Amino acid sequence: MHDYVRKILSSSVYEVAVQTPLDKMKRLSERLGQTILLKREDEQPVFSFKIRGAHNRIAHLTAEERARGVICASAGNHAQGVALSASRAGIRSVIVMPTTTPDIKVSSVRQLGGEVVLFGEGFDAARAHAEELAERHGYVFVHPFDDPDVIAGQGTIGLEIVRQHPGPIGAIYVPIGGGGLAAGIASFVKFLRPEIRVIGVEPEEAASMQAAIAAGRPVALDQVGLFADGVAVRQVGDETFRLCRDLLDDIVTVSADEICAAIKDIFDDTRAIAEPAGALALAGLRREIETGKAPEGALIAINSGANVNFDRLRYVAERAEIGERAEALLGVTIPERPGSYRAFIRLLGQRAITEFNYRYAAGSEAHIFVGIKLAGGEKEKQEIVTHLTGNGLEVTDLTDNEVAKLHVRHMVGGRVAGLDNEMIFRFEFPERPGALLRFLEGLNDEWNISLFHYRNHGADYGRVLVGAEVPPETRADLFAHIEAIGFPYWDETENPVYRQFLQAR
Query: CA neighbours within 13 Å on the CB side: how many for 48?
Result: 32
Task: Answer yes or no: are the C-beta atoms of 44 and 14 closer than 8 Å.
Answer: no
Query: CA neighbours within 13 Å on the CB side: how many for 288?
Result: 28
In angstroms, the CA 282 to CA 259 distance is 8
Sign of the four-CA dihedral 254, 39, 240, 137: positive
Question: Exposure pattern of 137-150 as b/e (b: 16+ CB <10 Å)?
Answer: eebbbbbbbbbbbb
Task: Answer yes or no: are the C-beta atoms of 199 and 284 closer than 8 Å.
Answer: yes
Percent helix, strand and coil across the chain, each to the nearest 5: 45, 20, 35
In angstroms, the CA 318 to CA 407 distance is 12
Q: What is the dihedral of CA 90, 96, 102, 108, to 10 degrees?
A: 10
Query: CA neighbours within 13 Å on the CB side: how many for 197?
Result: 21
* Nearest C-alpha neighbor of 180 from the set 231, 250, 224, 109: 231
DSSP secondary structure string for all residues of 347-370: HHTTPPEEEEE----SSSEEEEEE
Question: Exposure pattern of 88-104 as b/e (b: 16+ CB <10 Å)?
Answer: ebebbbbbbbbbbbbeb
Alpha-carbon 259 to chain mean position: 6
Q: What is the CA radius of gyration of the chain?
A: 25
Q: Which residues are catalytic?
A: 50, 304
454 forms bridges with which residues in the sheet?
464
In angstroms, the CA 181 to CA 337 distance is 60
Task: Answer yes or no: are the C-beta atoms of 394 and 333 closer than 8 Å.
Answer: yes
Alpha-carbon 175 to chain mean position: 11
